[in-house]
Structure 1
Amino acid sequence: TAAHCLRNDLYIVRLGEFNLYSDNDGASPIDVNIANIKKHEGYSKARASNDIAILTLKRNVEGFPRVLPICLPWESELRTKSLINYYLYVIGWGKVQFQGPSSDIPLIASIKELPTDLCSKAYASQADIDDRIMCVGDLKYQKDACSGDSGG
């Protein structure tokens, strides 16, 4: 998850949710207690750097059709592979427009990786952008993640 999403009173995660405001959406989410929270040791809220954390759950989560793991690349060449020519997807319950309302259901946007120097210039005063950061967006249709999409 994103480190900036964590709060001191967080003790469960909900997995498999769909409509945040309806129990009659057929999603059948499950709540699982958190055993441990580990933020990246270099996390800086002020500079938005190393904004990642690992949540260890108190039990394994298997056998739920709407809850699947994220596959992470183990081989070094996969971790540094450019995704410039691939479509990427951001999904979340975030704001549907800048400073607008949040969505009841998760929305999806297809985006692409952008050159790092583009983000470095755009966010120089707000964040440390280097080769560890994947710069993504859609300049043509202006699709992107928004407030509330973080954390997964």
Structure 2
Amino acid sequence: MGYLSISLLGLMGLAAIGYGSPTVSYLNDMEEEPDSEEFGQFMGRKKTTCKCGWTNKSFGRIVGGKPAEENEYPYLVRVSMDTSWGVANICGGTIVTNYHVLTASHCTTDVDAQYYVTTGQHIVNLPSNRSRMYRVEKVINHPEYNQINDWNDLSVLVIAEKMEFNQFVGPVCLPSANRIDLPGQWVKAAGWGDTQYYGSSSVVLMKVFLKVIGHKECQEAYKGSDDVAPNPIQFCTYRTKKDTCQGDSGGPILWLDPKTNRYTLVGVVSFGIACADGTPAVNTDVQVYMPWILATIKDNQRGSDTSCHID
């Protein structure tokens, strides 16, 4: 039921076709997005266990719904698969170790297919000495993934060979044991998805700021369906006329930790009704699944491929 490729809609809205009420409070939130010029640039006062979550930026400003700078998010990858007509780009994903990428289970339901991840990419299908495609050796979808309502929509991809890290390719930070209270906070999404509902996908990596809304508000927006779980294993994001859409599924929802000034992976893009239609997008809450993620990495470990988190 998820977008089989979800995308960043920063340019236009569409007529609402969702379940939600147009009077819910998140629709009235007109708060200005934060100034992110220095986000991820310099280390904060608190350290991480290894280098993670940094950004590559010049000091020119680019705000939500606009192209990201080249390799701005070194941990973002493109997920593709073999098809009868060749290799097709299907989703986004996020690097967590030299051998592991997180994405959404609805992107990898065919566990026998051959998948690939491309690191260091900015413009789709444009050759670059910074980008490289790696073969996925193993797909590990969450054992309780529900294809009907996309609950537990999370997958670990085990890469066949070590992904080489440098300034332009590296891991995101993962949440620590201290839960981040997300409702009301700004988060960032990035991907190559459609720029309007069932429109054409972007060839350039796009980024957008979104606001996390409360679980009860999200349930109310999806009233009449069971798409949003009764327990908070998901969280919702919303911003007027800005959204994730087809093509961005499996990609990251990033939270800037003010103590480390590094981006932490707090969500994986899962699904929505349409794009920027007044209904919030639903994301898998990475914090809930950290025990499973860490156990899965440990069970499929190659050398010292440990994930990074707040020290």
TM range, normalised to the smaller chain?
Answer: 0.7 to 0.9
- Aligned partner of 1:134 in structure 2 is 235
1:17–1:27 CA contact under 8 A, matched in 2: no
CA distance in 2 between partners of 1:43 and 1:53 (Å): 9
- Residue 20 of structure 1 aligns to a residue whose secondary structure is coil
Equivalent position of 1:118 in the other structure: 217
Matched, 1:37 2:139: yes
Give distance in 2, aligned partners of 1:58 and 1:27: 20
Q: CA deviation at 1:102?
A: 0.8
Percent identity between matched residues is: 28
Cα distance in 2 for residues equivalent to 1:2 and 1:148:
12
Give me the CA root mean square deviation: 1.8
Distance in 2, Cα, partners of 1:93 & 1:119: 25
Q: CA deviation at 1:61?
A: 1.9
Q: Give me the TM-score of the superposition, normalised by structure 2.
A: 0.44
Q: CA deviation at 1:11?
A: 3.2
| Superposed structure 1 runs of 4+ greater than 4 Å apart | none
TM-score (norm 1): 0.85
**TM-superposed deviation, 1:27:** 5.8
Please give the secondary structure, in 2, of the residue aligned with 1:134: strand
Question: Superposed, which structure 2 residues align to 1:1-152 within 5 Å?
Answer: 1-6=103-108, 7=110, 8-23=112-127, 26=128, 28-75=130-177, 77-78=178-179, 81-124=180-223, 125=225, 127-129=227-229, 130-138=231-239, 141-152=240-251
Secondary structure (helix, strand or coil) at the match of 1:135 reads strand
In structure 1, runs of 5+ residues without a counterpart are none
CA contact (8 A) 2:142 2:152 kept: yes
- Greater strand share, structure number: 2
CA distance in 2, matches of 1:137, 1:131: 17
For the 8 Å contact 1:15–1:67, the answer to whether it is kept is yes
Larger Rg: 2
Letter in 2 for 1:123: Y
Farther off after superposition, 102-111 or 56-65: 56-65
Structure number with the bigger relative contact order (C-alpha 8 A, sep ≥ 6) is 2
User: Would the alpha carbon gap of residues 102 and 122 (structure 1) be closer, same or farther in structure 2, given more than 3 Å must change?
Assistant: same
Deviations 1:92-140 (A, max 9, x none): 11110122111011111100110111221222415133311111111xx
2:188 counterpart SS class? strand
- Measure, in 2, the Cα distance between the counterparts of 1:21 and 1:38: 27
Aligned partners of 2:201, 2:144: CA distance in 1, in Å?
30
How many Å separate the matches in 2 of 1:114 and 1:143? 14
Report if aligned partners of 2:218, 2:228 keep a CA contact under 8 Å in 1: no
Task: Give yes or no for contact 2:184–2:213 (8 Å, CA) kept in 1.
Answer: no
